[in-house]
Amino acid sequence: MATLAIAPNVNPLFDRAPDLRDTRQRAKLSPNAIKAFVNIANKWDLTETQARGLLGGLASSTYHAWKTEPRGRKLDQDTLMRISLVIGIYKALHIYFGQPWADRWVTLGNRNSLFGGVAPIDYMLRRGQPGMMQVRLMLDMWRGGQ
């Protein structure tokens, strides 16, 4: 009878996606998610309006409060999902493209049929979370050679 051995260096906390319905998990993830999002928005050279739009139209005062002090924040499921998509897009771009294209790609006009000549950031802002998911899936397909 074969047994399944777990690699000794595998962290059991990462064996499955976090349950974003759990308020404790969201509270634990939120500060680092905010920091990661702000760093990516800066690397992509997004305007505040674009950054807030990716977060679902967050108020300017809330965005500034999060940037100033991310500790103690507890984001909702939708916002954490949006940040997760941004992180995935960022990661896929850095795997697929070399520098500096990885950080410029989001704001450049794009002839891909998905974008129709507009920049991916504009597509994602217009389509919301479903548009962000489409961009993420497209980049994952590119990255995987499909």
Tens digits of residue pLDDT in 125-134:
999 999 999 9
Please check whether residue 89 is in contact with residue 135, taking contact to mean a CB–CB distance below 8 angstroms. yes
Report the half-sphere exposure of 44 (CA within 13 A, side-chain side): 27
pLDDT at 72 (0 to 100): 85
More confident residue, 14 or 27: 27
pLDDT at 80 (0 to 100): 95
More confident residue, 1 or 54: 54
Show the CA angle centred on residue 96, arms to residues 83 and 127, nearest 5°: 40
Tens digits of residue pLDDT in 43-87:
999 999 999 999 999 999 999 999 998 898 899 999 999 999 999
pLDDT at 15 (0 to 100): 63
pLDDT at 39 (0 to 100): 96
Q: What tokens appear for 27 in the block?
A: 């509270």
Tens digits of residue pLDDT in 2-12:
444 444 444 45
